[in-house]
Amino acid sequence: MSRVAQRGGASSANRAGDGEDICPVCKTSRYLNPNMRFLVNPECYHKMCESCVDRIFSHGPAQCPVAGCRRTLRKNKFRKQTFEDIQVEREVDIRRRVADVFNRREEDFDTLLDYNNYLNDVEDLTFNLIYKIDLEESEKKLESYRLDNEQSISQNKALASQESQSAEMRKMMEQEQAKLRREAARREEEQLRREREEGRQEVINKLAAGDGDASKIARESHSIVLKKSSARRAALERQQQLTNESNGATKTNFSIKGLKQKVEPEPEKPYDPFGGLSDARDSYVLQDDYDVDWLRSFKQDPRHNVGGYDFKEFYDRALCDAFSGLGVFIEDEMAGKELSSIAPGSVTAAAQAVTEGNTNEAKIIAEDVF
């Protein structure tokens, strides 16, 4: 990016910042009042400072003071702007309003396609509301749906709040368990330290009393410590097992009901460019070679073979053309029949006749496939 462009971008950003810091109603700027707060009303989303809102709307509903806007606003609807872009603010409000009414769940539908169609319709309606396309009609649709489905809407709302509550509870229980685990670990450590201290003291006392061999006393104390620690480890494992089991129990308590059986998708088949159509010829079988007089010279001519030219390709194409009826013209065919009085009905005979007759090339191809 060039420096000029950068500077331009920065200055325009500054201008926007200045504009945001001046109340469009009383023209107070943040420079004069650093504690100034801006509020918007979801009726028209015109921004004004808090003191303007207090001054104009304290005595009840009044018209929006912004020039050209005649909407009646109430003070209790004013709130702080969450998003910097007022368009985003408005869209979020509309989406929230629509989602409050259209709160059907996937379980309500027989098939996923129905659910997706419903989501698509809702999105269309939301889009219309956001971009003010057929605004009145869309509002009417929303309202009529709300009136028609009041019961299911409130049911689904209750379900949603229940779900969020149970999620909250689960989180709390997990936190509680983590806390208990931490405390248990701390207690364990404390006990270990105390036992070690006691053991050491005992050894010192025994040594001080002087009864018995010093090395024997040391060995004994060591074995006692080992025994204790192994017993503790076993107890710990037991406890771990118990908590695991109880965890499993709580997990089954919180299982989600009504989940549909997941069906493994079929493995993707290799790509078939013909879409299942076979290119096998069912009206003829291709031979490796055809012995035709006029082709013989071409077959022996190296000019027709050196380039990788395959006569089989030619046979196949010619046969395919012939059996598909390409290059066959009824009028010519009939004329050919009349011409061949030698053996009518036999194709080869007709072809011979045509070749002998030395008529045009097209006819040769039509009769004798090569």
List C-alpha distances in Å: 70 to 46, 59, 62: 11, 18, 9
**Token representation of residue 132:** 């003010």
Query: Measured in Å, how far apart are the chain's first and last C-alpha atoms?
Result: 68
- In the bound complex, what is the minimum distance in angstroms from residue 31's beta carbon to Zn ion? 14
Q: Which residue has the tokens 């396309």?
A: 133
**Residue closer to Zn ion, measured from CB, 74 or 179:** 74
**Residue closer to Zn ion, measured from CB, 47 or 363:** 47
Q: At 21, which amino acid appears?
A: D
Task: Give which of 355, 357, 365 is closest to 325, Cα–Cα.
Answer: 365
d(CA 168, CA 163): 9
- In the bound complex, what is the minimum distance in angstroms from residue 140's beta carbon to Zn ion? 23
**Residue closer to Zn ion, measured from CB, 67 or 263:** 67
**Token representation of residue 268:** 């993707």
Q: At 105, which amino acid appears?
A: R
**Residue closer to Zn ion, measured from CB, 26 or 320:** 26
**Residue closer to Zn ion, measured from CB, 26 or 207:** 26
**Token representation of residue 118:** 């419903």
**Residue closer to Zn ion, measured from CB, 37 or 186:** 37
Task: Give which of 51, 54, 57, 92 is closest to 71, Cα–Cα.
Answer: 57
**Token representation of residue 207:** 């040594």
Count of all residues that appear for the chain in the document: 370
In 210-287, alpha helices (H): 214-253
Residues that bind Zn ion (CB under 5 A): 23, 25-26, 44, 46, 49, 52, 64, 66, 69
Q: How many CB atoms lie within 10 A of CB 362?
A: 12
- In the bound complex, what is the minimum distance in angstroms from residue 68's beta carbon to Zn ion? 8
Residues 6 or more apart whose CB falls under 8 angstroms from that of 130 comprise: 90, 91, 94, 95
- In the bound complex, what is the minimum distance in angstroms from residue 250's beta carbon to Zn ion? 54
**Residue closer to Zn ion, measured from CB, 64 or 350:** 64
**Residue closer to Zn ion, measured from CB, 69 or 231:** 69
Residue 79: its H or E element: strand 79-80
- In the bound complex, what is the minimum distance in angstroms from residue 22's beta carbon to Zn ion? 9
Q: At 308, which amino acid appears?
A: G
